[in-house]
Amino acid sequence: MAASQKPLDQVVHERRATQEFDSKPIPDADLKQILEAGRHAPSGYNLQPWRFIVVRDPEQRKALRGAAFNQPKVENASAVIVAVAALKAWQEGDLDKVAALSKEHGFTDQQVEGMKKSVTGALGGEPGDICGWGPDWAVWGNRQTMIAFTHMMLEAESLGYDTAPMEGMMESQVKKVLGIPTDNQKFRVVAMLAIGHKKGEDKPFAGRFPLEYNFFDNKWGNGIKL
C-alpha cells in the first residue's frame, strides 16, 4: 500500500481541478488503493449501485476524448475513471449479493431479511417521495455514485496525485466508446475522473461563496454563522 502523502484536510483545501497532465503511467498499486477507496464508499442499503470503468489504454482514451468535447486531459491523464450508475442492478441480482455479503460479515438472517424488505419497500414501490428518488432513478443513482467517485478523488489526491472531475461529455458517445449498455433506464454515465500528475501549474483557486450564503442554520435561508 502506498504511503499517504497528504492529510485529508490539506487535500480538501489544496485540491484543484487539474487542466493538464504529464501522461506518466500510474503504478497498479496506487491505482488499486484509489479504487479500493471507491469500493469502501457508503451507499443506500449498501447496494453499491455503481460501475466504474478505468480507462488507461491510449487508443481508448483518444476515443473517449472525442466523446468529451475534445478535452485534452482525457488523453493526457494517467487514467480516466468513468462513473456509471447501475440503476436497476439491485433488482437484477445485486440485492441478493448484498444480502449474502452482509451474512458473511456477521449480520443475522433476521437483519438481512429486514434489510431486503426495506429495500423492496423503499425502492420497489410506487414512485413517490420516499428516499427522495420519486420516479427519477437518475437522481438516486447519481447520489450514490458520486460518493464513491469523491472517495476516489480524495484518495488519489491524498496519495500525491492530481485529479480532474468532468461532466463535459456526450453520454451516448461515451457509452459507445466504452461498450456501456445503451439502456438509460438501467445505466447512466455520471461523470469522469482524470487522475495523474499535473503538467505546469494549476489554475488559481477560484474562491467559494461565504459559508452563510448557502449553508443554513436549522431552517432554509437562515445563513449559518460560526
Name residues contacting ligand FMN, limited to 76-115 (CB under 6 A): none
Whose grid coordinates read 456526450?
A: 170
Read off the C-alpha cell for 114: 429486514
Binding window for ligand FMN (CB under 6 A); candidates: 91-99, 166-174, 177-185, 211-219: 166-174
User: E-assigned strands of 12-110?
Assistant: 50-55, 79-86
Answer yes or no whether residue 66 interacts with ligand FMN by CB under 6 A.
no
Binding window for ligand FMN (CB under 6 A); candidates: 34-42, 98-106, 132-140, 164-172: 164-172
CB 92 within 8 A of CB 79: no
Binder of ligand FMN out of 166, 177, 189, 195 (CB under 6 A): 166
Binder of ligand FMN out of 16, 51, 88, 116 (CB under 6 A): 16
Binder of ligand FMN out of 42, 72, 124, 168 (CB under 6 A): 168
**Cβ distance to ligand FMN smaller for residue 43 or 150:** 150
Q: What angle do CA 146, 147, 151 make, to 5 degrees?
A: 115
Whose grid coordinates read 478505468?
A: 54
Whole-number Å distance between alpha carbons of 197 and 37:
19
